Amino acid sequence: MCPAAVNDGDRRGYIIPIGGGEDKGPSPSILERFVDIAGGSQADIVVLPTASTLESTGPLYEEIFDGLGAGTVSSISIGTREDCNDPQLAERCEKATGIFITGGNQLRLSTILGGTDVAQTLRRINARGVPIAGTSAGASIMSEHMIAGGDADQGPSEGGAVLAPGLGLTNAGVIDQHFSERYRLGRLLSAIALNPFLLGIGIDEDTGAFIDADGMMDIVGSGTVTIVDGGDLKYSSAHSANRNQGLGMLGLKMDVLHEGCRYDLNMREAFAPPEDS
């Protein structure tokens, strides 16, 4: 699934995958920047807590964004596919200047949102300039191919990553979250082994990847973003490996970016912060 087409005169909005555990105060740099991009004091932010089963999740982010000076914030309770096809809820998203998708269970997100009016609205408004941020599960669902599960704390293996369709806000890569904290390099490599052209994007907690319309990614937060590039892979054993067998992968390229680093998703090139260039 390709990202929705951009109409003449429009410019695609930011997509902002966050690795989970973002600072919510006293120095919430990631959330502050999202509010600023969404319009600051004029922002109209919709929070989608669908991935979470906790009733407190939506109100928590309402309070946070209100405290950061957003003009209007509302949490939409979407718990079923029927909700996602409610014209009033889709219309509320249509009017937003920023969308925030909370953490929880990404399969809950994909099975409830996938292919619905709300999902199509999110794709359409992002194509016309509305930024969409998501933390943890909300980050994973942004890509065309979503990591829905898999083994952590081990090397790449056949079956080491479970994939499902995502929202398709980007088809440049596949996103994983809580990356260093939950030792997920192996499952990201397992995903890349299945389609080496994809970029693997592993985002640590309290770290956001701000991706603009030109595919330039800026890193904000206290952790790192790991980029695994299999575009020049010379060999992968994924096609012949038995279930749970370790995978061989030759010719991978890896970059690890901290705050201030940038990465061009189109050119597949990393850049140091300006003062270190």
Per-residue DSSP letters for 231-265?
TT--EE-TTTPPTTPBPPEES-EEEEE-TT-EEET
Of the candidates 214, 225, 228, 232, which has an alpha carbon nearest to the alpha carbon of residue 261?
225
**Residue in 75, 110, 157, 178 annotated catalytic:** 178
Sheet holding 225-229, edge to edge: 173-177, 199-203, 225-229, 253-257
Residue 235's beta-bridge partner residues? 250
Q: Which one is catalytic: 110, 136, 143, 157?
A: 136
Q: Among 18, 217, 56, 220, which Cα is nearest to 137's?
A: 18
Peptide bond into 196 cis (omega under 30): no
* Catalytic residue flag (residue 205): yes
CA gap 271, 277 in Å, rounded: 8
**Would residue 62 show up in a list of annotated catalytic residues for this protein?**
no
Token pair listed for 112: 């409830």
Say whether 136 is catalytic: yes
- Sorted by sequence, the CB contacts under 8 Å of residue 131 that are 6+ apart come out as 13, 14, 15, 16, 34, 37, 38, 97, 98, 99
CA pair distance 38, 97, nearest whole angstrom:
5
- End-to-end alpha-carbon separation of the chain, Å? 36
Q: Which of 22, 62, 205, 236 is catalytic?
A: 205
> Which residues are known catalytic residues?
136, 178, 205
